[in-house]
């Protein structure tokens, strides 16, 4: 049970992932572009963000950069979920900017994506207290 923010401009895919995540018992918040995504992170405080790259107004990398630049939200884990090939420079850039994973949509079924998110959240939750301690300290 987690709150998941999906930031993607393709409503069809958003609906698909939303169905799968909700079917798995998660709460899903959606945003159609980077601006909206940033707002929703702040307002809805999701546990994890699935961020597309190619979007109008503000692309995913810029959104990621802003997330990481904002101290109040920068600890929220971000998974790049995109159809931009993983062998491109952007995958590196996404990871370098602080994304926890880079998934190419076409390579995974929604079920596999849900599984990945679960794994990451589980790992993140184990590590999170340490991070918090570090921040508090």
Which residues of this protein are in contact with another protein, per CB under 8 A?
Answer: 10, 12-13, 16-17, 19-20, 23, 53-54, 59-61, 83-90, 92, 104-107, 109-111
Three-state SS sequence of the chain? CCEEEEECCCHHHHHHHHHHHHHCCCEEEEECCHHHHHHHHHHHCCCEEEECCCCCCCCHHHHHHHHHHCCCCCCCCEEEEECCCCCCHHHHHHHHHCCCEEEEHHHCCHHHHHHHHHHHHHHHHHHHHHHHHHHHC
- By beta-carbon proximity to another protein, the closer residue of 75 and 116 is 116
- By beta-carbon proximity to another protein, the closer residue of 72 and 109 is 109
- By beta-carbon proximity to another protein, the closer residue of 65 and 75 is 65
Shortest reach from residue 1's CB to another protein, in Å: 18
Shortest reach from residue 55's CB to another protein, in Å: 8
Shortest reach from residue 107's CB to another protein, in Å: 7
Shortest reach from residue 115's CB to another protein, in Å: 12
- By beta-carbon proximity to another protein, the closer residue of 36 and 90 is 90
Rounded distance between C-alpha atoms, residue 74 and residue 14, angstroms: 23
């Amino acid at each position: 049970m987690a709150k998941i923010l999906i930031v993607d401009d393709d409503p069809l895919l958003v609906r698909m992932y939303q169905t799968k995540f909700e079917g798995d018992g998660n709460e899903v918040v959606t945003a159609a572009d980077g601006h909206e995504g940033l707002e929703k992170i702040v307002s809805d405080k999701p546990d994890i963000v699935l961020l597309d790259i190619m979007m109008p107004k503000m692309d995913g990398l810029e959104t990621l950069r802003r997330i990481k630049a904002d101290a109040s939200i920068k600890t929220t884990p971000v998974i790049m979920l995109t159809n931009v090939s993983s062998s491109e420079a952007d995958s590196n850039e996404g990871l370098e900017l602080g994304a926890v994973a880079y998934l190419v949509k076409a390579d995974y079924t929604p079920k596999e994506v849900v599984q990945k998110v679960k794994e990451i959240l589980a790992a993140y939750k184990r590590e999170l207290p340490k991070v918090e301690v570090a921040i508090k300290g």
